[in-house]
Structure 1
């Protein structure tokens, strides 16, 4: 949702009045302010969809990309956590030695700021992807090119497994998509 500067100012002022008067209502003024200040106004449509007519524009492509990445990492972590110890050992023996933790560590907040901002907003403000809540999701290393390769492989696997859990071989295949120059987001635990 694109808002003019004047609309943002009006909404911010209305939120402040709403909070100052301690008005209880269906709209959370803190959430609205967070969406406005972080540039994630698409989140208003997600949270308050009933307030919009049916012809609202679709989400920005970068939002869709971040959601796909977070979905993939949720599936990777769930699959890995469900493995027996011997299968975890097999994963460790089969993946690149530069990988260090089977855990989503986020995006580089310097070079991938938009991705990091959207992920943070989804997790903290929208309370989506609770698995990642409370984590520092700023990897401090560029990760998006690796995540894009992993998502392509993940989407192919999803066609085969549907909503089922990833097995050992599928996890190994996905984790081996990390062909970056150094360990940037994987550490075996």
Structure 2
């Protein structure tokens, strides 16, 4: 949802009034957090009854982050489902992280902020909730390559089947 500066100011003042009057409402907190972090797209996700279904489409970075978090959820579940022997084979065959390292807070700050908002205030992708989402190194180029391999597989994974060792290896090696 795109807000003009005057709309942001009005909503921020109303949220401040809620806080000052000690009116506890998650909606006011969400609005305030979304405005202050630049994640106003989240209002369309959480407040469809207020904002409506005709909200602006997600910014491309929001779609990317949601896709990457979804991919990493499947990757981590797949790795966790491996036996210790097969996990050792995967570790030997594939270099790099086997769990979500996050986004670079300096050079990928938009993606980092979106991930933090999805995991934090929106309470999506709960598996990442207690983690530092700052990788401290660029990750987008790798996630893009990995997602290109994962996306065709994604359609077959909706039935609760974890990724196989071969699939994990293929994605993580991209």
TM over 0.5: yes
Q: How does 1:164-175 map to 2 (within 5 A)?
A: 164-175=161-172
- Counterpart CA distance in 2 for 1:120 and 1:23 is 25
SS where residue 138 of structure 2 aligns? coil
C-alpha displacement of 1:16: 0.7
Q: Which residue of structure 2 lines up, in the alignment, with residue 80 of structure 1?
A: 79
Matched, 1:21 2:21: yes
- Counterpart CA distance in 2 for 1:158 and 1:9 is 41
Structure number with higher relative contact order (C-alpha < 8 Å, ≥ 6 residues apart): 1
SS where residue 157 of structure 1 aligns? helix
String of CA shifts for 1:90-127, please: whole Å, max 9, x gaps: 1112113xx2x311011111111100010011111111
Q: How does 1:10-159 map to 2 (within 5 A)?
A: 10-25=10-25, 27-96=26-95, 99=96, 101-159=97-155
- Counterpart CA distance in 2 for 1:136 and 1:155 is 25
- Counterpart CA distance in 2 for 1:159 and 1:13 is 44
Unpaired segments ≥5 residues, structure 2 = none
8 Å contact 2:103–2:134 — kept in the other structure? Answer: yes
TM-score normalised according to structure 1 size? 0.87
Q: 1:116 to 1:23 in 2, by over 3 A?
A: same
8 Å contact 2:44–2:52 — kept in the other structure? Answer: no
- Counterpart CA distance in 1 for 2:125 and 2:153 is 21
C-alpha displacement of 1:22: 2.1
The more displaced of 138-147 and 55-64 is: 55-64
